[in-house]
Structure formats: structure tokens, C-alpha cells
Structure 1
């Protein structure tokens, strides 16, 4: 499932670019918080949707 502008970071409320699906539910992260937490969380995740590449695409348009 693709992330949209409606999806917001659980940590700060900014636009989410990463969804981490865990057994207990899912977490949404902006690019900044994904950079901080993804390395620790990813090994236990069922699935990770990482759209941080859109950050560089949006800044060049």
C-alpha cells in the first residue's frame, strides 16, 4: 500500500514516508524519524514500505 499525504508520522505528525508493519500493528515515520529508528525496528518487522526516495524527487520538481 502506497503512502499518501494523509499518512502522518507517529512521532511528530509530519508527512510519513515509511510504514513499518509489526505483529502488533503498524508505525508511520517521517524521513527523519525513520533514519533514527528503522535500523532497530526493521529486523522484527513483517514488512517495511520505504518511500524516502520521494523526498529527493519532490525537492527536484
Structure 2
């Protein structure tokens, strides 16, 4: 049996108003978890944990202009 991993939906918004759950800096990414709930991270913590976050996310919302490590560059 083979399991297929789906990439989470990535949405860009003009700005986020929340604060990072790790350090209280301005949020750059909000991660909606497949298990329910969400996490919010500054740019540093979002990029530091990008690989792990993509495994547990159903949707990722990033602030416009933020270069997230797990986001593919536009074609």
C-alpha cells in the first residue's frame, strides 16, 4: 500500500495581525493544522520549522512579501 502526501494549500494575504506563538514577533505565517486549530509564526520560526509544518498543515497563509522556505518560487 502506498500513501500519497498532499501539499497543503498556500494562500498569500496582504498582512497578518497576529503575533508569533514562539516569540511574540509579528506573524508572517499562519498554519492551519490537519488535526484542527492553528499555529502562527514570525518569519524566523516559520522558516526554521518549514519542513515539519508542511507535514501537519492543511492550509498555510503567508504574508505578502514573506519568502517562506517551503514555498516554491513562482514559475
TM-score (norm 2): 0.60
Write out aligned runs for 1:1-61 (5 A): 2=13, 3-4=15-16, 6-22=17-33, 23-51=35-63, 53-54=65-66
Higher RCO (CA < 8 A, seq sep 6+)? 2
Question: What's the C-alpha RMSD, in Å, of the aligned pairs?
Answer: 2.2
Where does the alignment leave 5 or more consecutive residues of structure 2 unmatched? Answer: 1-10, 68-75
Moved over 4 A (4+): none
**Per-residue Cα deviation, 1:22-59 (whole angstroms, up to 9, x for no partner):** 0231000000000111211112211001226258xxxx
Judging by fraction of residues, say which structure has more strand: 2
Judging by fraction of residues, say which structure has more helix: 1
Larger radius of gyration: 2
How many residues are aligned here? 54
